[in-house]
Structure 1
Amino acid sequence: MNYGYPIDETWSTNEIIDVVNFFSMIEKAHEKQVSRQELLIVYNRFKQIVPSKSEEKKLFAEFETASGYSSYRTIKKAKSSSEAVIKM
């Protein structure tokens, strides 16, 4: 990993940790596999921190540009799947 996560300096330390954890789960879904339930839990926490859809899209785009991993497609798959494990 030679890139950073999109971070907002106005977030608290705990919020930054939770957002980093979310993007880390997205990476793990692409590189290995993750629990669908855990991914949706960290996404829900992410949405508490970033409730704005436009801000979410901006952060997802920044992360995809840096990493090549699509947060949107990963979350879409997790929401629509009934499988216990998500692998991109």
Structure 2
Amino acid sequence: MEYQYPIDYTWSTDEIVDVIHFFECIEKAYENGIDRDVLLAAYRRFKEIVPGKAQEKTIFNEFEEVSGYTSYQAVKALKETSSGQKIKVAPKRK
């Protein structure tokens, strides 16, 4: 897909790369499914970079606007599954 990921230009290059990796994991959760532990590691790193709930919500909304993927649903599925399971998020119905 061709769109820009929501990033904060005050982040370091490594932080930007890690946030983009997290959003790529969200994409995989919708498209083909992703191992829960891979998504968990990416989310934990994302939370190190974006610790506040308000900023997280803003970034999730920006990502949904450009991609159509709801990060919240993928994170919710992450919290509802056990280690070693695959997460596959169903797209929103319009």
Coarse TM-score class (shorter-chain normalised): over 0.9
- The residue that corresponds to 1:70 in the other structure is 70
Alignment of 1:3-22 (within 5 A): 3-22=3-22
The one-letter amino acid of 1:23's match is F
Of Structure 1 and Structure 2, the greater helix share is in: 1
The one-letter amino acid of 2:60's match is F
Cα-Cα RMSD:
0.9
Q: How far apart are residue 30 of structure 1 and its match?
A: 0.5
Q: How far apart are residue 2 of structure 1 and its match?
A: 2.0
Alignment of 1:1-88 (within 5 A): 1-82=1-82, 84-88=85-89
* Bigger mean CA offset, 68-77 vs 78-87: 78-87
SS in 2 for 1:78: helix
Distance 2:2 2:80 in 1: 31
**How many residue pairs are counted as aligned between the two chains?**
88
Q: How far apart are residue 62 of structure 1 and its match?
A: 0.3
Q: How far apart are residue 26 of structure 1 and its match?
A: 0.2
- The residue that corresponds to 2:92 in the other structure is none
Question: What is the CA deviation profile of residues 9-51 of structure 1, one whole-angstrom value per residue up to 9, with x for unaligned ones?
Answer: 0000000000000000000110111000110110000000000
TM-score (structure 2 length as normaliser): 0.90
